[in-house]
Homo-oligomer: A and B are copies of this chain.
Amino acid sequence: MMENVKYKLYLQDLVAILKERLEGTMKEEYSEFDLGMQMECYNILDIIKQQAEAFNIPLAELGLEHYDLEKFMKRR
């Protein structure tokens, strides 16, 4: 494997894990602690998106192109 390709693969894998985590924060009932965890997972995915734009990394490459992060905030 080319040395630098692993960073791209790593990143794709990481984003997939974080998307799954964020999905997993959706509950019927939220404690304040749950809401804090959900908010931070959302915040970090949002940073990942913004930074991708700053680094000219297409969102599609990270599996974030049509990913509606905002839907996780609509329950508030």
Contacts and interface: CB of A to CB of B under 8 A. Distances in A.
B14 A51 contact: yes
- Chain A's interface size range is 20 to 34
Contacts of A73: none
A57 interface: yes
List the number of copies, as a whole number: 2
Contacts of A37: 36-37, 39-40, 43
B4 A57 contact: no
Contacts of A4: 2, 4-5, 7-8
Interface of A: 2, 4-11, 13-14, 17-18, 21, 31-41, 43-44, 47-48, 51-52, 55-57
